């Protein structure tokens, strides 16, 4: 396994380089001048803007700016935020716990709902439960996160007053208050994710239940519950692990909308604020961090194959 991990890490380097090129190019194609966003239209004196442009290195050609930025990134320096007046890496580190908690809660909710629902749908194929599961999955997959978030705020927070509509409390300050504030955002982020996973579990388990070793287990007189849970579901989870790794980008992208709706101080809201203020260093840093998280999640998903299925060996 060590050699496999080293090979995968060696491939991460070229991919990461391509990611930096894409991030830098897309950010600098964003319309608007960051200096105008910093100074404002009324205070945008030409001489002051020229001096700031030289100070920030914005007067250099894009290839030179990219080379300087990449050199700093390789040293762990993501730059300095125009808007927040602090290092980008520091701002990201402060916001990571919020987004990480939101993503983990969303994944936990999705797995707790999708795996049992998909398994029941597969074992009761064609029943009313299967039809209900398919309908719920279609609704969840087609429901926009921003619409669901606003709906939950109106019904659960405003009408019923069960949970707070927005805001964030640190778990170290008030753990119950933190969980109350994170429930609605986590459900909003998990809705589409749950729909995809439940249908995937159903399809994968239906394929596995037709395998020879499943028929052998049944012929030995094992209970159907043992056959499905112990022999079938474990192998059926391999595609689910793959999707969890690939859908990390979906979670991070959904976190941008969800954190904005519920006023959570996470990476998603930080990225939105950076776009609105034309804060190029912050936007580049956040986007690069999210891309690195996606690469790491794919690697972890590959390594989890061996845990889910002992037949898989890394050479």
| CA–CA dist 43, 246 (Å, integer) | 45
Whether the pLDDT of residue 168 is over 70: the answer is: yes
Average pLDDT, the chain: 78
| CA–CA dist 211, 183 (Å, integer) | 39
**CA-wise closest residue to 235 among 212, 209, 215:** 209
Whether the pLDDT of residue 250 is over 80: the answer is: no
CB 137 within 8 A of CB 195: yes
Whether the pLDDT of residue 67 is over 60: the answer is: yes
CB 129 within 8 A of CB 301: no
- Structural domains in the chain, CATH included, are 2-74 (no CATH), 94-308 (1.10.3720.10)
**pLDDT of amino acid 35:** 66
C-alpha 10, offset from chain centre:
24
Structure tokens at 86: 């602090």
pTM: 0.78
**pLDDT of amino acid 141:** 76
Per-residue pLDDT tens digits for 256-291? 888 888 888 888 888 888 877 777 788 888 888 888
**pLDDT of amino acid 1:** 62
Residues in the chain: 315
Mean pLDDT of 157-186: 86
**pLDDT of amino acid 20:** 83
Over pLDDT 70: what percentage of the chain? Answer: 78
Please return the burial class of 69, using the count of CB atoms within 10 Å of its CB with bins 0-12, 13-18 and 19+.
Answer: buried
**CA-wise closest residue to 78 among 297, 286, 300, 307:** 286
**pLDDT of amino acid 32:** 64
**pLDDT of amino acid 38:** 62
Treating both helix axes as pointing N-terminal to C-terminal, what angle do 88-123 and 128-142 enclose, rounded to 10 degrees? 160
Backbone angles phi, psi at 222, to 5 degrees: -70, 150
Mean pLDDT of 224-231: 68
Instruction: Tell me the sheet residues that pair with 87.
Output: 80
From first CA to last CA, the distance across the chain in angstroms is 6
**pLDDT of amino acid 37:** 61
Of 15-19, 144-148, 219-223, which gets the smallest average pLDDT? 219-223
Backbone angles phi, psi at 45, to 5 degrees: -70, 135
* pLDDT, greater one: 151 or 51: 151
The conformation of residue 229, written as its DSSP 8-state character, comes to I
* pLDDT, greater one: 37 or 73: 73
Please return the burial class of 223, using the count of CB atoms within 10 Å of its CB with bins 0-12, 13-18 and 19+.
Answer: exposed
Q: CB-based contacts of 217: which residues, under 8 Å, 6+ apart?
A: 226, 227, 231
CB 123 within 8 A of CB 228: yes
pLDDT band for position 309 (cuts 50, 70, 90): low
Encode burial over 165-200: b for 16+ CB neighbours within 10 A, e otherwise.
beebbeeeeeeeebeebbbbbbbbbbbbbbbbbbbb
């Amino acid at each position: 396994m060590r050699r496999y991990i080293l090979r995968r890490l060696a491939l991460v380097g070229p991919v990461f380089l391509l990611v930096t090129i894409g991030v830098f190019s897309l950010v600098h194609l964003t319309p608007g001048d960051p200096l105008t966003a910093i100074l404002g239209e009324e205070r945008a004196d030409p001489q002051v803007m020229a001096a700031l442009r030289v100070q920030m290195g914005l007067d250099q050609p894009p290839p030179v700016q990219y080379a300087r930025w990449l050199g700093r990134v390789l040293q762990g320096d993501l730059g300095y935020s125009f808007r927040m007046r602090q290092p980008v890496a520091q701002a990201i580190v402060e916001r990571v716990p919020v987004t990480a908690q939101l993503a983990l809660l969303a994944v936990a909710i999705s797995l707790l709902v999708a795996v049992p629902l998909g398994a029941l749908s597969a074992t009761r194929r064609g029943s009313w439960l299967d039809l209900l599961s398919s309908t719920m999955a279609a609704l969840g997959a087609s429901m926009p996160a921003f619409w669901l978030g606003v709906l939950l705020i109106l019904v659960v927070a405003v009408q019923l007053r069960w949970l707070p509509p927005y805001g964030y409390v640190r778990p170290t300050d008030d753990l119950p208050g933190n969980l109350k504030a994170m429930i609605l955002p986590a459900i909003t982020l998990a809705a589409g994710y749950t729909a995809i996973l439940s249908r995937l579990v159903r399809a994968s388990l239906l394929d596995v239940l037709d395998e020879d070793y499943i028929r052998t287990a049944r012929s030995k007189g094992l209970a159907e519950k043992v056959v499905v849970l112990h022999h079938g579901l474990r192998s059926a989870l391999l595609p689910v692990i793959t999707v969890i790794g690939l859908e990390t980008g979906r979670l991070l992208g959904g976190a941008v909308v969800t954190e904005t709706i519920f006023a959570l101080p996470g990476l998603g809201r930080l990225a939105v604020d950076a776009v609105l203020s034309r804060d190029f260093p912050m936007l580049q840093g956040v986007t690069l961090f999210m891309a690195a998280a996606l690469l790491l999640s794919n690697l972890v998903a590959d390594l989890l194959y061996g845990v889910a299925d002992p037949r898989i060996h890394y050479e």
